[in-house]
Structure 1
Amino acid sequence: MVFLRALLIAICAATATVSASPTTYATLPIVTLDRGKFIGTAADGVNKFLGVPFAKPPSVVDVKSVSVGDLRFRLPQALGPFSATHNATAFGLSCPQQATTLAIPNGLPQETVDYLTSGSGTTILDGEDCLTLNIFAPAHARSGSRLPVVVWIYGGGFEVGSSALYDGGVIVNRSMALKEPVVYVSINYRKIDASLAFGFLASQEVKDAGVGNLGLHDQRMALRWIQKYIHEFGGDCSKVTIWGQSAGSISVSFQMLANGGNTEGLFRAAFMQSGSPTPIGDINYGQQYYDYLVERTGCSCSSNTLACLRATPYKKLKAAVDSTPSIFTYQSLALAWMPRVDGVFLVDEPQKLIQQGKVARIPFVAGECDDEGTSFSLSQLNVTTDAQLRAYLSEFLLPGRHLRVRHMTRVPKMLFTPQFKRIASILGDFTFQAPRRFFLNNLSTKQNTWSFLSKRLKSLPILGSVHGSDYTTSTRKLLTLLDSQVKNITITQDTYRTDGMDFITELFLTLPL
């Protein structure tokens, strides 16, 4: 799973500003932005510029206007003109991550265990100064080449993930082999974790301050940076496609719903893998988690709890966040931290915006894996009866799910029962399949749309075509669906599980998450 590898593998390093003699970088690619020079690296016909800042760090201190830490939980701020010389030869720090662990239950075949644990043993290096992006371009690209641009937004449940996990050089080399060269850009954005990098804090206090969905605002800021500077790397700012997987794919869909569907010329097409507009509700639905952080950090007595959280020491707030439910705990896909309707970036529930036609009129692709829910239902193996299943669904997907924070640990020594597959089907359809079908059904007659269903790894025991299996991760690199290994492509009707998905659609139209 791509987002699982985001927990397990990364080699990241901070970007530094340097001064050096011209001869030091004589053989390396150099791009001038404003009055600044960025020194990249070159390998296998691809120029790479890594860890390039696109916004002010959330921890920056501007003595003229703000106090220490005052940029915490605030909208991203644009950078001034670049100056000096910058080393862009290593990935920047990843935005801080929520502590998440996937417990491997007993009874899994070794083949499945190997798949889930491949790449384990290293960790993501994260930090406060994380609002950076990376540019991969053909070595022959120059200002004025006007190549199409693909912008990658990584997944990870809005809890984990990093642009450093993906080698854009693979994509660029593949595009050149197809004689359709592109410039690839990957971006970081704030997720939930860490006092200086909250991306999806949600509550009435957050709504009143106008600082909801910061991670989505970060993505938008990165897209504006691309419009301003990508031509210097050989890209065409009028030919930008945004592309994501899982939470990154959901992010892509929300970028299509922002601003009444007006793209502001920031992108012209979209590609979504395992994620469409999630049926989310008002930002107040996250109040219980906000209140939990306030209590755990000792901010309950403060007259301004948001200001108190801004001033809370990093380690203290991180410990509070790490104790909240994550994507691999019992609560699973009823995410504690995710985008919500804030009245600013998302002015209404996504499904209502789609029905109102307030969506970008651009061509897009949206597809899923055949067994999206299996990896997430490993966290509920203690649900073994129909009554327990009904109780679980009532608590987390139906009325009453917003009543309390629950962080239940499942029992690992448990045999797989029929309820495992039932939960997997429900979670997969509720979060991925049904929202995609709703999205396409409402838009396919109004704009060019395409869809796919990936059955790669269908024979993987227990998990099947698990979430993220439309990638290969054996080399920790991205491969496109156009790879020569893809075989047996067929055209069919998108009508599987019609009755169940129709019921789920009616359910989330009435009861958003």
Structure 2
Amino acid sequence: MKNLTWLLIFAPIVLTHSTHIPPPTAITRNGTIQGIQLPFFQQDLFLGIPYAQAPRLDNPQPVNTTYDHDSPFDASRYGNTCYGFGSNELLGLTQSEDCLNLNIIRPSRTIEENNANPFPVLFWIYGGGLHQGSSADPMWNLTYIVQRSVKEQQPLIAVSINYRLSFLGFPGGREALNAGITNLGLMDQRLALAWIQENIVAFGGDPSRVTIWGESAGGVSVFQQLVAYGGHGGTELFSGAIAVSGFATGSALPETEKMQDGFDKLVTRANCTMAEDKIDCLRRTSLYNLYPAEGSLGGGWGPVIDGDFLRRPAAWEIHDGNCAHVPLLLGSNSDEGLIKVTASGYFPNKTSEITSLLETNFPRLQHSVIEQLLDLYPEDGRGEAPPYSLPPDFAWCEAMYAANLPCGSQYRRAAALLGDYVSHAPRRYMAYLWSRLGLPTYSFHFKAVTTGIPIQYFYGLGPGFANHGAELAYEMGLPGGFTTPIQFYPPVKNVSGHLALSMEMNRRWIAFVARKNPNELKGMYGYTIEV
């Protein structure tokens, strides 16, 4: 099914090569970019445009290549993906250190029309735990939300980017701090936003109306961009922000020193222990040696407080108003905790096992606090879904076994507890802090009983619930059915209702991008959809 998904997404691109429609072009600061047309969608695509250079373990640098009219940059296919672990390998994407590129999707129209009425811009930052992800992932296909924006008579341009991941994007430790190379992936994102400011006019976009949008680690990235450099310069790059299922609370950011252990292990495995300059040694080490060594260490790389790009935890900065003052839309899903429980390796069947899970993952929690939490999240005694979580409409254990996972009769009890901790409470707290500054703040809670993502694709998300990432296919407006990117497992009872929900979410995202208010809809007002 994965191959079929790719075929469906790229089929319109292949078809354009057999036509005689002149390819769309745009003249940027670096010269002429030549894209392709999607006649069926009436869209122009510019794919894989370099926005920066990525020297290993160093800050991103501007592109120094120029393209003339007679030899334009070929933007007809996705560019390289940054090195990562997980979906990047599963999808068979071409990974490279030369990966800082972006994609632009716009409605087709003349240059005169572009100049007369430029489009607002939706800037997508993918998630993936900061160790996987790519703008070429078919789940991030922005064609459909652009198509919906035209139908809503408020067209927009969509942009997606690649940024460096894992240790190559988020090195930590004393050496990285002293070298000034922490938070490189975030700096990649920042430079991409600067590139948009300089060049999006050439594509018919309005640089004064850029909305940044991210999910999971992309949502965390959005908050880091909001507080970067103490909030300075943010409003010059974007005018609105959407963060879903990813929030930068104080507990989410370790000090640089706390990543020293991972750095030391990487140095050892890369045979750089005796080097006088360990950063330089890692830069010179063959990627074929460095990449497996990095992957064997697992996760742990991420943003750190470095006193420069990130001066303090985001919640502290927002509390004091040190952030970009722009409208904010944020949300989370009912069953966010499913992935957290699975990642912990616990599939609890009794209360004592949930206690062990909490003690292992939160060693600073006092036992009295754990007991209070267990009282607040009771098990109903029948092994069914707890009252605070969405009920399954199928055999839970049967579905878990089908995914080669243990059943865990109290699995969802633990998931509800962790979901509140990592997602719902941070969402509500961030919404409170933002609105406290007098800024427009909108919050949503997604609870459609489905998965939108094939269980075979994202291990551990679980079928049939509003789990982490389940809302993405709805936000993106991907069409439903067995021959398109959305896969319902098990088959849902009301497909038309889910498609209507997706359209409604599309409309509200578009309204936020266009007018910074998801409730200011064109045409009929929103409505309640039973799914």
TM-score range with shorter-chain normalisation? 0.7 to 0.9
Answer whether contact 1:99 1:322 (CA < 8 A) is retained: no
Change (3 A) 1:320 1:481: farther
Change (3 A) 1:429 1:337: farther
Residue correspondence of structure 1 range 146-157 to structure 2 within 5 A? 146-157=118-129
Q: Is residue 2:440 matched to residue 1:448?
A: yes
Per the TM alignment, residue 315 of structure 1 is displaced from its structure 2 partner at its CA by 1.7
Change (3 A) 1:307 1:9: farther
Paired with 1:48 and 1:100, the residues of 2 have a C-alpha distance of 24
Per the TM alignment, residue 128 of structure 1 is displaced from its structure 2 partner at its CA by 1.6
Q: Which residue of 2 aligns with 1:139?
A: 108
Answer whether contact 1:369 1:466 (CA < 8 A) is retained: yes
Paired with 1:235 and 1:287, the residues of 2 have a C-alpha distance of 43
Change (3 A) 1:343 1:121: closer
Change (3 A) 1:259 1:484: closer
Paired with 1:35 and 1:122, the residues of 2 have a C-alpha distance of 31
Of 68, 71, 75, 2:59 maps to 75
Q: Which residue of 1 aligns with 2:248?
A: 277
Q: Which residue of 1 aligns with 2:134?
A: 162
Paired with 1:256 and 1:10, the residues of 2 have a C-alpha distance of 37
Paired with 1:35 and 1:304, the residues of 2 have a C-alpha distance of 35
Paired with 1:51 and 1:370, the residues of 2 have a C-alpha distance of 35
Paired with 1:121 and 1:293, the residues of 2 have a C-alpha distance of 24
The one-letter amino acid paired with 2:33 is F
Residue correspondence of structure 1 range 84-483 to structure 2 within 5 A? 84=68, 85-99=72-86, 122-140=91-109, 142=111, 143-144=114-115, 145-165=117-137, 166-192=140-166, 198-262=168-232, 263-279=234-250, 280-326=253-299, 336-379=300-343, 380-381=345-346, 383-399=348-364, 415-445=406-436, 446-457=438-449, 464-472=465-473, 475-476=484-485, 481-483=504-506
TM-score of the aligned structures, taking structure 2 as reference length:
0.72
Provide the alpha-carbon RMSD of the alignment: 3.2
Q: What SS does the aligned partner of 1:28 have?
A: coil
Equivalent residues, number: 420
Q: Which residue of 2 aligns with 1:488?
A: 528
Paired with 2:20 and 2:65, the residues of 1 have a C-alpha distance of 23
Unpaired stretches in structure 2, ≥5 consecutive residues: 11-18, 366-400, 453-461, 487-498, 509-525
Change (3 A) 1:386 1:293: farther
Select the structure that is richer in helix.
Answer: 2
CA offset digits 1:442-497 (Å, max 9, x no partner): 1213211000000122599766211111133653389665358996369xxxxxxx
The one-letter amino acid paired with 1:125 is T
Answer whether contact 1:10 1:125 (CA < 8 A) is retained: no
Answer whether contact 1:276 1:436 (CA < 8 A) is retained: yes
Q: What SS does the aligned partner of 1:97 have?
A: coil
Change (3 A) 1:9 1:217: farther
Unpaired stretches in structure 1, ≥5 consecutive residues: 14-23, 59-70, 102-119, 327-335, 401-410, 491-513
Percent identity (aligned): 33
Change (3 A) 1:384 1:182: same
TM-score of the aligned structures, taking structure 1 as reference length:
0.75
The one-letter amino acid paired with 1:164 is A
Of 18, 22, 26, 1:27 maps to 22
Per the TM alignment, residue 382 of structure 1 is displaced from its structure 2 partner at its CA by 5.2
Per the TM alignment, residue 301 of structure 1 is displaced from its structure 2 partner at its CA by 2.0
Paired with 2:432 and 2:469, the residues of 1 have a C-alpha distance of 24
Q: What SS does the aligned partner of 1:93 have?
A: coil
Answer whether contact 1:381 1:415 (CA < 8 A) is retained: no
Paired with 1:134 and 1:440, the residues of 2 have a C-alpha distance of 30
Q: Which residue of 2 aligns with 1:49?
A: 46
Q: Which protein, 1 or 2, shows the higher relative CO under an 8 Å CA cutoff with sep ≥ 6?
A: 1
CA offset digits 1:58-106 (Å, max 9, x no partner): 2xxxxxxxxxxxx2111111123632321000000111112479xxxxx
Answer whether contact 2:52 2:101 (CA < 8 A) is retained: yes
Q: Which residue of 2 aligns with 1:494?
A: none
The one-letter amino acid paired with 2:254 is G
Paired with 1:133 and 1:95, the residues of 2 have a C-alpha distance of 12
Per the TM alignment, residue 272 of structure 1 is displaced from its structure 2 partner at its CA by 1.4
Per the TM alignment, residue 418 of structure 1 is displaced from its structure 2 partner at its CA by 4.4
The one-letter amino acid paired with 1:339 is P
Change (3 A) 1:9 1:42: closer
Paired with 1:459 and 1:140, the residues of 2 have a C-alpha distance of 36
Change (3 A) 1:121 1:33: closer
Paired with 2:219 and 2:451, the residues of 1 have a C-alpha distance of 25
The one-letter amino acid paired with 1:170 is Y
Q: What SS does the aligned partner of 1:354 have?
A: helix
Paired with 1:386 and 1:296, the residues of 2 have a C-alpha distance of 40
Q: What SS does the aligned partner of 2:154 have?
A: coil
Change (3 A) 1:147 1:483: closer
Paired with 2:311 and 2:464, the residues of 1 have a C-alpha distance of 37
Answer whether contact 1:457 1:465 (CA < 8 A) is retained: yes
Change (3 A) 1:360 1:122: closer
Change (3 A) 1:81 1:442: same
The one-letter amino acid paired with 2:271 is G
Q: What SS does the aligned partner of 1:164 have?
A: coil
Change (3 A) 1:251 1:312: same
Paired with 1:128 and 1:223, the residues of 2 have a C-alpha distance of 20
Q: What SS does the aligned partner of 1:438 have?
A: helix
Of 17, 21, 31, 1:36 maps to 31
Change (3 A) 1:351 1:489: farther
Paired with 2:82 and 2:30, the residues of 1 have a C-alpha distance of 27
Change (3 A) 1:484 1:435: closer
